[in-house]
Structure 1
Amino acid sequence: MKKTQKSYADLPPIRVRREPPTIVEAVAAAQDLADDVEQQVEIAAGLIGLPAEEVRPHVLSAQRAKPERMPERILSHASPSRAPRTVIVERRARPTVVVERRSRPLTPHR
């Protein structure tokens, strides 16, 4: 016996669970998006859905705890007979991959 196909109208609606980010996650995202503290407060408050006054202390405390970025030039230890060597670190971004979705051709190519 063949099974009948169900249409999408017969299926129950899809339920989507919405969980806002935690304060730590929102502050980390805001720090990555903006350098200005006030902008970070606005971004984090918008992500969480809280007023800016409640988010501001968390952004300020995270600002102090953020470590300094390592310098791009690194000096290696050298022996007394040689001068120190400088190593330059270059960061390259990978090219973005674009995937195009194509529909089937209307006429077969045979």
Structure 2
Amino acid sequence: MKKTPKSFADLPPIRVRREPPTIVEAVSAAQDLADDVEQQTEIAAGLIGLPVEEVRPHVLAAKRAKPERAPERILSHASPSRAPRTVIVERRVRPTVVVERRGRPLDPRR
């Protein structure tokens, strides 16, 4: 028995569920986007759809809870008998290669 192909008209309409982010998610996103607390508050309020006054305490609490990010460093373990090594990384700049594309010569006798 052969199945009949279904068309899009036969299918039920697609329902999309919209879930705004939680306050924690919105504050975290705002902290990644801006450094200023007022800007973070406005971003988080815009993402959630709440007034700025309701979101401000959550942003301030998250700022106190989030430790300052330490600068990233690459550490290598040195042996106790040796002094730590210094590694210098330099970038070499190579000259650009220009390739000229030549067409057919105008004079076929060449």
State the TM-score, normalizing by the size of structure 1: 0.66
Q: How well do the aligned residues superpose, as a CA RMSD in angstroms? A: 2.5
Q: How much identity, in percent, do the aligned residues show? A: 84
Equivalent position of 2:32 in the other structure: 32
The gaps in structure 2 that reach 5 residues or longer are 88-110
1:72 maps to what in 2? 72
Q: Which has the higher strand share?
A: 1
State TM-score, norm by structure 2.
0.66
Change (3 A) 1:63 1:2: same
Q: What amino acid maps onto 2:40 in structure 1?
A: Q
Q: Is the 8 A contact 1:75 1:86 kept in 2?
A: no
Q: Is it true that 1:42 corresponds to 2:42 in the alignment?
A: yes
Letter of the structure 2 residue corresponding to residue 29 of structure 1: A
Asked which structure has the greater CA Rg, the reply is 2
Measured in 2, the distance between the counterparts of 1:30 and 1:48 equals: 11
The amino acid that maps onto 2:50 is L
Unaligned 5+ segments in structure 1 are 88-110
- Aligned-pair CA distance for 1:10: 0.8
The one-letter code of the counterpart of 1:6 is: K
Residue of structure 2 in register with 1:55 after alignment: 55
Greater relative contact order: 1 or 2 (C-alpha under 8 angstroms, separation 6 or more)?
A: 2
